[in-house]
Amino acid sequence: MSPRGDTAEAGAVKRIKDLADVLLEEGLITQEQLQLAQSEQERKGRSLGRVLIELGLVKETDLVAALARQVGLEFVDLTAHSIDPSAASLLSDQVARRYRALPIGFEDSRLVVAMSDPSNVFALDDIRTITGLEVKPVVATAADIDAAIRKYGQFDQSVEDVASEAATAAGGQTTDLDEIEAAIEDAPIVKLVNLLITQAVADRASDIHIEPAEKDIRIRYRIDGVLHEVMRSPKNIQAGLISRLKVMADINIAERRIPQDGRIGLVVGGRAVDLRLATLPTVYGEKIVIRILDKTSVLLRLEDLGFSDEAYTPFEKGFRKPYGTVLVTGPTGSGKSTTLYATLNIINSVDRNIITVEDPVEYRLPGINQIQVNNKAGLTFASALRSILRADPDVVLIGEIRDRETALIAMEAALTGHLVLSTLHTNDAASAITRLVEMEVESYLVASALDCVVAQRLARRLCDHCKEAYKPSKAELEEARFPEKVRGQIKELFRPSGCNRCGRTGFRGRMGIYEVMPITEEIERLTAEAKSSEDINRLAIEQGMITLREDGLDKARLGLTSVDEIFRVVV
């Protein structure tokens, strides 16, 4: 929706009727819901349409469709509509964004243009002049138009065209350093790198994989935790492409035998983006992986990450204490750092001295003292921790507990009045205790210092616009191991379908699956007695702990994800 006033409401519609009257007539809201929204509107000072959407009382597509009908215009759902690329190419990306308008097809010699504000006569005149065609405006949501412009908007050239141009300019494959240094300044290579990064950010990718093969280069994006092949490029641009990225990351382009890593800071689409680049020598050349760090994820609230009330309450009790240890566990890429950063956002205040030691420091947080591990200079987790404890901290965040020395200092810091937050690589919450004991930390020390353990995974969230409801069979519910008490209540589950908005995957975005184990007196006793993780896990479940599988199935029951997705991420 347009911030200028609920898309079409801002134009012709507003002249006919008030938004409230339109929605009541269409039966989209009740009088009670309208009163609730109006009181919220007065409190927030936002437009009525935006408040209704935020409260979940009406969908943006339903709102705009109702407004379009009031002025006799056609509403188009761009997520389900087939867009003609030849029509979209008639308008430059710059003009499309300026007017929030995109040509989507042709009808009776007229150009059909999707617009968020079809009453903008200046936009219609400009589009008519630029294209030389009569224009038929249709209404679409601003969000759908923005997404369609990102996908169909006219780049100077497509990624494939630029790659082809770069290959032609590169000629034969070269390993000569002088030739490579000249090639990386060539416009086609520079343009290709910029396009790859821009497209990855637009597609919400978390990683870019550039992988040399025997006869070409494969480029893949990781979107919502799953890799998707984007393109294959000619082999002869390999040296120039990889060297260009290494120059941007300020690492040695002449060194190809050992792994290297660096950072790149860019502005993409008007926002600052941090890229972390890592090289890995392979038999066909250096593979490059670029991690795209989204700074907005550190500003998320814990509730937005996917914590249910049953999981959030014991976790909050743990991190609200003035001392003790809170561990977040899970495999690489399960969102542990994001959870800890979101926790720091809650407890960060001017009366607290918060110090972190990380490897690497992924996000810069205001008001927090962050230390970057430097093993070559002797600044390890353990040595940094010793120094931190002499700097009068209230809260200490340790990026990861990797060895006995770090674990010991962390436990001792928790016992001497500090709140310690850290991560550990284990499959479930109970295994964190036995992992610390395996690191040769005395079991009584673990029992005394530990307050709460969170195990987590990331599951893909079903696309709200195309998820498909179905009635599960009794056998399927039993096989999925839904709790017996809820099986009879499940009338429908959801599965992915696929639309333009989610890139035909059926999923858009991710959410956390959580298992929170508070350290009760009984669990503390089992820990001190060095009991197995199975014994600890069994007791925690008896005391009411929701397991990873149960939390995942509950989210599937609520329609947030699919059962198959839960099976994919939770063993």
Average pLDDT over residues 213-241: 89
Average pLDDT over residues 165-172: 64
For residue 8, pLDDT beyond 50? no
Output the pLDDT for position 359. Answer: 85
Q: State the Cα–Cα distance between residues 225 and 138, nearest whole angstrom.
A: 36
Output the pLDDT for position 190. Answer: 82
Predicted confidence band of residue 7 (pLDDT cuts 50, 70, 90): very low
Q: 112: helix, coil or strand? A: strand
* Full DSSP string of 171-224: -S----HHHHHHHTTSHHHHHHHHHHHHHHHHTTEEEEEEEE-SSEEEEEEEET
Task: Work out the percent of the chain whose per-residue pLDDT is above 70.
Answer: 87
pLDDT in tens, 25-73: 777 778 888 778 777 777 767 667 777 777 777 777 777 777 777 677 8
Average pLDDT over residues 288-311: 82
- pTM here is 0.69
pLDDT in tens, 68-123: 776 778 888 887 777 777 788 788 777 888 888 998 888 888 899 998 888 788 88
Kindly state the helix (H) or strand (E) to which residue 60 belongs, with its residue range: helix 60-70
Predicted confidence band of residue 159 (pLDDT cuts 50, 70, 90): low
Predicted confidence band of residue 160 (pLDDT cuts 50, 70, 90): low
pLDDT in tens, 433-459: 999 999 999 999 999 999 999 999 999
Output the pLDDT for position 511. Answer: 92
Q: State the Cα–Cα distance between residues 196 and 351, nearest whole angstrom.
A: 44
Q: For residue 518, which amino acid is it?
A: P
Strand 110-115: give its sheet, edge to edge: 101-107, 110-115, 134-139
Predicted confidence band of residue 499 (pLDDT cuts 50, 70, 90): confident
Output the pLDDT for position 14. Answer: 40
Please write down the long-range contacts of 480-487, taking CB distance under 8 Å and 24 or more positions apart: 480/553, 480/556, 480/563, 480/566, 480/567, 481/549, 481/553, 482/553, 482/557, 483/550, 483/553, 486/557
Predicted confidence band of residue 18 (pLDDT cuts 50, 70, 90): low
The answer to whether residues 134 and 103 touch, using CB atoms and an 8 Å cutoff, is no
Q: State the Cα–Cα distance between residues 76 and 198, nearest whole angstrom.
A: 27
Average pLDDT over residues 520-527: 95
Close Cβ partners of 79 (under 8 Å, ≥ 6 residues apart): 144, 147, 465, 466, 499, 500, 501
